[in-house]
Structure 1
Amino acid sequence: MLEEVERWLSRRSWSVADRPLEGILAAKRSTRGTTISVVLPALNEEATVGDIVRVIRRELMSESVPLVDELVVVDSGSTDRTAEVAAAAGARVVARDAILPRIPAVPGKGEVLWRSLMVTSGDIVCFVDADLKDFSADFVTGIVGPLLTDPDVAFVKAMYDRPLGTEFDGLASGKTPGQGGRVTELVARPLLNLHWPQLAGFVQPLGGEYAARRSLLERLPFPVGYGVELGLLVDALHTVGLDALAQVDVGVRKHRHQDGRALGRMAAAIYRTAQLRLSRGHLVRPRLTQFERSEDGDGESRFTPRTYEVDTEERPPMVEIAEYAERRRVA
């Protein structure tokens, strides 16, 4: 298995510099009509979403660089100015709850990504998280490049350094290079190495920046929550095979880091997603209990349990949804 991973790394791992923008544009022209949609799932990201939209529009959607055909921000019920800021920067903004209203929406990133297939039309769909700081267009060109230049590639993840630091969170401290992917290293990577060793070569299996052919995405189930990245990666492996998967080094990813309790809930959802794929049987316990120190009425300090539901729902492949099938038939 190690030899297979090493062969895959040599054949399907690249740097963004391996495909200059001019070559990617030429490849797109040669495909005679292949279109690209970029989707930003967003929940209370007014501080960063506008800059990301402006970079994509300026650098990848101009007359001279017509790489991206469609830029959509799907707002997942933000209570800040996310939708307003994104629209002012030039994105088409769609509210999550306005998509497929027949099916009541549930909270979760995967829910937003799944519904985005209904409101986009690109042959290639590129997902980019909306909380990135110092965003570079390389995050888009890097992951769509292989899909435009190699017809055998169907799914491409971005890989990058993830410095761990609190400058972005408003605190004065330094950054630790390469230590930002805590759930990746503690949960996802061990799961993949133990149960899906073919995927052991992915540097950022949980990264939110990846692109895929619509013809693949519409056939995959989408976990509604934090498990969506692991679920899509594993299911893509079983659907199209390892050689159709790839990754591209795009440099450094800076974003807002979540606290330890949020990471614990993320880890539980990812474990649950893996559990379902290992055995489609029962869930052991789809809840997670965490502890917070608090004071009772007498001023005594104690640990108080807080129990959260772990995402237990998955959306079916989009091709099974009647509205999507009708939309594709008309298009």
Structure 2
Amino acid sequence: MRFRSILRLAAPLLIAAISFHASAQSGTTLPGTLRIGFQKSASLLTLQKSSGSLEKKLAPLGVSVKWVEFPAGPQLLEGLNVGAVDVGFVGEAPPIFAQAAGAKFVYIGFDPAAPEAEAIVVPKDSPIKSVAELKGKKVALNKGSNVHYLLVKALEKAGLKYSDIQPVYLPPADARAAFERGAVDAWVIWDPFLAAVEHQSGARLLQDGKGIANNYAYYLAERGYAQTQPKVIQALFEDTQAQAIALKSNIKAAAAVIAPLQGLAPEVVEKSLTRYQFGVKPLTPAVAAEQQKIADTFHALGLIPNAIRVGDALPGSVKVAEATK
């Protein structure tokens, strides 16, 4: 009963957050396929894909599901911008870089903060003991990903500028290889890659996101799709909530299912799952304001060419004035 009550409460909030107009809904025809952009590292979506739960949820609406995998958030945003997917799930930074590049999308939901699920790590035998000692060092990261902001804020806290390090922009697989052969001094990465390198290589954590970066994750949609397909998005979020509750109620069982799909040991996946909260929620002015802070930081550092207003990509129910105070 508690589970059903949660869904009954969550669904109306999520739909309200997307701010669909009745006139737009009345003439809506359901699409034949919902195309979802995801990363294999997104454990909850990987679990959903494996279980087929969303396909069952959408079947009464006559809608099928196509899962489109991307190596990281920036590439997923490119796919969303060119119309290859309808909905995607990414970290904090990719939407900001994409919006600065002119991508058209709307935020439709977010996952709770997970600051411990991203970190700066060094090899176990590295002489580097603090973030301050990264000055002049090579630091690997996926450009435009959620960890980009973590690195900026961690350096700032340590009294360093971004220009004080040598960023090496590599996707996770290439960064792991460079990290293990000593081609870079540190790596900024998220789970489950973080848990994997800790477990398999003994990587030592210098700084995670606690007190520095919230590490929210966002559900995004092509704006026209969000406006015309509220029933499909409602079904997606209801299923996401159900799968999140099931995952958190038995993390070990979920890890056993997800591990072979991610090519990782169950204990690695289990560790990474404990650092996420899961469960999509409606956008709030406070969360939007945090996203604007990241955008302003990136612009001040010259990481994006022009200032952006996150409010331009928010649902109408999240007031821009409130979000940017």
Which of the pair is proportionally richer in helix?
2
TM-score, normalised to structure 1, is 0.29
